[in-house]
Structure 1
């Protein structure tokens, strides 16, 4: 489902997943190449994105950037996510965000705060969140 220019058209569930990945990457105001590659790989490889139009990534990214430029933009983003993301995909969304955050090998304070906000907004149980975070850390560890 496309995002209209006036941002009134709801996002698809896949758009929500992309939006959260972009949001975690942009949270520290420095989108690193490793994070962008992680987003692209997730969209290209994961079954949840099987029918997703990859050209939507730039449109959804622009929506996130536009919302981040507004005073209550983060609240607006989470409102859109709540309206369009099925609850059964909340842990998937958090796992994808954790993978993007861990992709460059460093977690910066703004990313940690954004992950905390995502845990709250997506209603991720603390124990489940810890397991998801541990898995992301294990997948992105370097020698």
Structure 2
């Protein structure tokens, strides 16, 4: 996978999750486990080639090294991700951000950017975020 034009919608979802995890420059085990769990269990990844995760990670890291890398990532999402998956993408991004127990700093900022770039309305975003909080509560 050398050409971003070849990315599948599933690979775009994985790229976005990896970007959220890497946004604070500390990819925690809990975030990586969450990504793997999501890929293993959600229907949207039914026919996904898990062997491509390494290549997708490399693509995200390469984009993050570029001055306008985040803009390139969002352009890729807009070009390759069907609009019907925008809320799914945001929900997955929220789950990865919440995996370590706190959404703050760079993770909060990238989620805000994702909401804007994928045109997630305030009410829908709030509902997705509330669902994320409910799933990640501890006793």
CA distance, structure 2, for counterparts of residue 69 and residue 112 of structure 1 = 20
Cα root mean square deviation, aligned: 0.8
Measured in 2, the distance between the counterparts of 1:8 and 1:118 equals: 19
Question: 5+ unaligned residues in a row in structure 1: which ranges?
Answer: none
Q: How many residues align?
A: 139
1:116 has 2:91 as partner: no
Superposition map of 1:1-143 within 5 A? 3-4=1-2, 7-143=3-139
- For structure 2, the 5+ residue unaligned runs are none
Contact 2:5–2:80 (8 Å) recurs in 1:
no
TM-score, normalising length: structure 2:
0.97
CA offset at residue 8 of structure 1?
4.4
* Equivalent residues of 1:23, 1:64 under 8 A apart: yes
Looking at structure 2, the residues matched to 62 and 140 of structure 1 have their Cα atoms a distance apart, in angstroms, of 28
Paired residues of 1:95 and 1:132 also in contact (CA < 8 A): yes
| Distance across 1 between alignment mates of 2:4 and 2:59 | 11
1:10/1:80 contact within 8 Å kept: no
> Per-residue CA shift, 1:88-134, capped at 9, x if unaligned?
00000000000000011011210000000000000000110000001
